Structure 1
């Protein structure tokens, strides 16, 4: 029997089991790993689309630019990356609004850093939302700042990079669509990762809806229609449709349920992949110059010219003939086993840059080849020849000349 004033126990509320973190599947990871640097470099261009209402009125402008840039990480390392910059400015029911996205991506569309800014200047309560992604060592840091009027809320989250495989940010999504448009192919049943409106991980899928002919004036182009769906666990799915031209240009973008869409104002010049030029191969032909009258005449004239030049030089420099004759005579007298070393030792004293010999003999004789100049003995003799040779060599040669054996 319950006592007076006793409280009945409150019923226990069972906690909802926490859902496991979503993961990208194999098809998504395989598609991202197949993207190369060369393929991304084909997608460096800018484009502009008009924001059109349901009544065909121009509400604003959407621009997208992808280019190559260097990114410096938190450790100070510079990395070559793809820089994405997208902006949209317009008015909805005479209320100014806009979005800007700026991000640095790797060649496999991993996000190094991204800044996402949205604003709606609705009076009396304007809304300003900023989201920053920053890859730092082993984590992805997410900072969300929401300003409603004068009220500011800041939220910081951290995701381990091990659970971010296959993550596609807003900036990476823009490049991924260009890759799909260029390849004319959408990965089948691929599930990527992205962040929903609340900053939580969820799946993002892409589906090919076929092809549609886009016409602007007299120009036509076939666009591939790709539908992207963001599957949030806490909200209804959000869907976009993209009309992609063969080179990745965006012809049209529609957000399902939105009162406006983005359409290009003129047909861009469709880019095509440059085919590598085949390398010209020239067959090697045997040249028999002796049978060619012109070549043989040139050879004969040049030979006679060199012979005349050599004869003139030796006539104007008789000491050169004397020096060479002395060397040959000295060589025949000594008959060394190594002629090259003997010549280097013989002509070494004539070199200006040669260091003086030590005053005492040593068991470790210095090599006569101390520089590259020592290998070109003949050139050293002709350029740095002294008029007077060593007295010892002159006396020795003179004695041998006077000898009856010679």
Structure 2
């Protein structure tokens, strides 16, 4: 009936799970669970997951007892872009009104910022009302509980360090996580953290269930299942089994051992997804620009443009003619083996970025262009012949 524990089996029956958690051990999320949460892309992964779910609650005899609704929408809360998740379940079991309500703000990485969880069972002689408030603060998560049973009111408060809560998934964020688990592939036996019915930090194990067929409005739907088990440190494990359609709509939800089941009564409207068109592929073609009239014409235009620019520059700088004449004479005189290095050294003297050399430096001073001074022909002329 409830989204959490209002409809827990009165006999405490739950499915068997491997292993247990000692009361003195601090629960921790598994490495693959933390990796899955870190892999969530909040901008794209939830693009088609923000919709409403509406189910009816029925008994094991098929009698309708109430309804269960889940809404997820983007919102801005305390200057943050978050998701607002609201779940509500109400009805009557054996004539006793009961229900639960969850209002939760989570980030796009499913980190809970704030959650209000209200559960009630209106027994005639002993009504029970339980409220749990979770708020994320700088020092950690602050958990406040108020349990009212007739005139008895119990209040508790505690703070849990943030590093201890790594991988924590609240009841509200769990509803959105289930949709994401159907949308994306997740490792079996993935372990995260959650609270048990007494707000004790516990391990939550997620498993795949086998696909099956579910009849809705006379049509057979292929549904996909996820099993979630909270392994409490102080009580028996509690297990929920949830089934979803291919577009992640919740179709069935039950707490193992409970006589109450939540089922989809009407087929929801399918959400149209924008499919990306296949990217075109182009074969690499050889570029024969000389045979292409357009490219060859552009080449000639660019060539004439550069020649014109050079001519204009030469006209505006007549000193270049004298400079080039001196360079050519010097080049013919030295006849260096490496003409490029020789030219670099020659014109470096006219650059304002090169350090100026002292006129008193010896001619044998090292040069950044040593190859410019190697000329076997000149060396032979310098060597006296006998």
TM-score normalised by L of structure 2: 0.65
For the residue of structure 2 that corresponds to 1:168, the secondary structure is: coil
Counterpart among 36, 39, 49 of residue 41 in structure 2? 36
- The aligned counterpart of 1:98 is 99
For the residue of structure 1 that corresponds to 2:45, the secondary structure is: helix
Q: CA deviation at 1:28?
A: 0.5
- The aligned counterpart of 2:167 is 166
Q: CA deviation at 1:138?
A: 3.1
Counterpart among 8, 27, 33 of residue 32 in structure 2? 27
For the residue of structure 2 that corresponds to 1:44, the secondary structure is: coil
Q: CA deviation at 1:274?
A: 1.8
Cα contact 2:114–2:133 (8 A) shared by 1: yes
Which whole-Å CA distance do the structure 2 matches of 1:206 and 1:270 have between them?
26
- The aligned counterpart of 2:55 is 49
Is structure 2 residue 250 aligned with structure 1 residue 245? no
Which whole-Å CA distance do the structure 1 matches of 2:224 and 2:264 have between them?
15
- The aligned counterpart of 1:187 is 187
Q: CA deviation at 1:18?
A: 6.4
Q: CA deviation at 1:71?
A: 1.3
Which whole-Å CA distance do the structure 1 matches of 2:23 and 2:72 have between them?
39
Cα contact 2:23–2:234 (8 A) shared by 1: no
Q: How does 1:193-208 map to 2 (within 5 A)?
A: 193-208=193-208
Count of residues paired in the alignment: 263
In structure 1, stretches of 5+ residues that fail to align are 1-16, 73-77, 289-336, 338-406
Q: How does 1:7-406 map to 2 (within 5 A)?
A: 19-37=24-42, 38-72=44-78, 78-183=79-184, 185-271=185-271, 273-277=273-277
Which whole-Å CA distance do the structure 2 matches of 1:27 and 1:250 have between them?
25
Cα contact 2:83–2:107 (8 A) shared by 1: yes
Cα contact 1:247–1:272 (8 A) shared by 2: no
Cα contact 1:246–1:270 (8 A) shared by 2: no
Q: Which has the higher contact order (CA 8 A, sep 6+)?
A: 2
In structure 2, stretches of 5+ residues that fail to align are 1-21, 282-291, 295-315, 317-386
Cα contact 2:217–2:265 (8 A) shared by 1: no
Residue-by-residue CA offset, 1:124-163 (whole Å, 9 max, x unaligned)? 2111000000001131000010000011110001001111
Higher Cα Rg: structure 1 or 2?
A: 1
* C-alpha spacing 1:49/1:18, structure 2 compared with 1 (3 Å): closer
Cα contact 2:243–2:252 (8 A) shared by 1: yes
For the residue of structure 1 that corresponds to 2:46, the secondary structure is: helix
TM-score normalised by L of structure 1: 0.62
Which whole-Å CA distance do the structure 2 matches of 1:255 and 1:90 have between them?
16
* C-alpha spacing 1:177/1:275, structure 2 compared with 1 (3 Å): same
Which whole-Å CA distance do the structure 2 matches of 1:215 and 1:131 have between them?
36
Please give the root-mean-square deviation of Cα atoms over the aligned residues, in Å: 2.1
Cα contact 2:216–2:264 (8 A) shared by 1: no
Q: CA deviation at 1:278?
A: 6.3
Cα contact 1:27–1:189 (8 A) shared by 2: no
Which whole-Å CA distance do the structure 1 matches of 2:193 and 2:227 have between them?
16
Q: CA deviation at 1:275?
A: 1.4
